[in-house]
Amino acid sequence: MAVHATRTAEELEAYCARLRGAGLDAPWSRPGPLIPPKPTATQARLWRWRDIEPLLRESPDFLVPHRGAERRVLRLHNPGVPERTVAHSLVLAIQYLLPGEVAPAHRHSPTAIRFMLHGEGAYTTVDGQKCVMKPGDLVVTPGMAWHDHGNEGDEPVIWMDILDWQIVRFLENLTYEPYPDERQTVGRTPGRDIFHPWSETYPALLRRAEQQHDPFDDVLMEYVNPATGGSVRPTVACYLQLLRPGVRTRAHRETSCAVYRAVKGHGATTVDNETFEWGPGDFFVVPPRAAHAHSNAGSEPAVLFSAQDVPILKALGLYRMEPVA
C-alpha cells in the first residue's frame, strides 16, 4: 500500500468495494509486486521406457476405444503441471493401437505431431493424405486438419503425439469435431509439409554430423516445412539431434521448453543441478530457463528427438538463449 495514503484501511476497503461494483480492481491495494516472479510449473523430469512400456501394453484391458471417443493414450504427467501434461505448454501422449484398430476421423484446433516409435503397419491420414508410419517417421497434423489413424499390421503399434494443446487451451480456442465417416477417402500422397520419413531425416543427420557441430547441442537439425521454410508449426518446432561419442556440450539457458525422446544410444543431460542418464526410449523435459548440457560418454552416437515451443516464443519476442559459464 502506498505510504502517502491519507485514508484509513477501512476507507480503502470501502473504496475497493466501490471499485468491484464498477467492475474495476486496484492491484496496488494488495501487498506484493505488480508482476510477481513466477517459477515455471514444469519440472525437470525423466521417464524410463522400461517403466512405461508394460503399463502401455496393459492399457487395452482397460480401454477399448469406440467411435467418437477416447484415444488409447498415456500422457506423460509432469508433477508440477496442474493439467497433468508433460509441460506447461505441450502435451506428450503415447498412443497404443492393437492390430486392426481404427481411430475414427476427426479434427481439432490443436496441432498434433506424431513421431513413430514401435511396430509396423500404422498409418495416419491427414486431409486425405495417407502417411504409412515406420519407426522414426514424423507426421504433422496441423490444427483443423481432418485425421484418422489405424493399425493395418499384425502387431501392436506405438507412436508419440506432441500437441500444442496447452497453448490453444490458454487462448481458449479448443475445438473438436467428428468427421461424418469413420475414415477419410485417401487422395494424394503426403506432402513434405506434413511427412518427414526417417529414411531421409536420419541420413541427413549423419551427413550433418560429418560437417557441422554446435557447442550447445553438438549436431542439431530442425525439421522444416518446405512450404514456409520455417518450423513445422507456428507453435512447435521439432529437432533431430546427434551427440557424437565423447561429446560434452556447453551448458546454456533458453526461455523455451523442450521435451525429448531418446531414439538411439545412451547419454546424460544435466538440467540445473540434476543429471538424468537416458537410454533408448526414455523421455525427459527441460523447463524454461533451466541450464542444460548433454553428454555422450559411450562409444556409439546418441540420437535425440525433441519438440520445443521455440517458434511461439520467437513470435512473441520472448526467445532468449544465454551460455552458462
Picking from 286, 302, 296, the residue whose alpha carbon sits closest to that of residue 242 is 302
Count of residues of this chain found to bind ligand GTQ when the rule CB under 6 A is applied:
10
How far, in whole angstroms, is CA 28 from its chain's centroid? 37
Residue 149 Cβ, how far from ligand GTQ at the closest point, in Å? 6
161 binds ligand GTQ, rule: CB under 6 A: yes
Instruction: Return the number of the residue (164 or 218) whose C-beta is nearest ligand GTQ.
Output: 164
Burial 165-190 (b: 16+ CB within 10 A, else e): bbbbbeeeeeeeeeeeeeebeeeeeb
Residue 125 is which amino acid?
T
215 Cβ contact list (under 8 Å, min separation 6): 249, 250
Picking from 250, 233, 254, 257, the residue whose alpha carbon sits closest to that of residue 293 is 250
302 binds ligand GTQ, rule: CB under 6 A: no
Position among 76, 81, 105, 112 found at the interface with ligand GTQ (CB under 6 A):
112
Instruction: Return the number of the residue (163 or 240) whose C-beta is nearest ligand GTQ.
Output: 163
Residue 58 Cβ, how far from ligand GTQ at the closest point, in Å? 18
Picking from 10, 16, 14, 20, the residue whose alpha carbon sits closest to that of residue 30 is 16
How far, in whole angstroms, is CA 143 from its chain's centroid? 15
Residue 84 Cβ, how far from ligand GTQ at the closest point, in Å? 13
93 binds ligand GTQ, rule: CB under 6 A: yes
Q: Angle CA(317)–CA(90)–CA(117) in degrees, nearest 5? A: 125
157 binds ligand GTQ, rule: CB under 6 A: no
Q: Per-residue x/- mask for ligand GTQ, residues 128 to 147, rule CB under 6 A?
A: -------------------x
Residue 257 Cβ, how far from ligand GTQ at the closest point, in Å? 18
Instruction: Return the number of the residue (122 or 220) whose C-beta is nearest ligand GTQ.
Output: 122
Residue 71 Cβ, how far from ligand GTQ at the closest point, in Å? 5
Contact 115, 134 (CB under 8 A): no
161, β-bridge pairs: 93, 114
Nine cell digits for residue 218: 553438438
Position among 46, 81, 103, 219 found at the interface with ligand GTQ (CB under 6 A):
103
Task: Summarize as ranges the residues that interact with ligand GTQ (CB under 6 A).
Answer: 71, 73, 93, 95, 103, 108, 112, 147, 161, 163
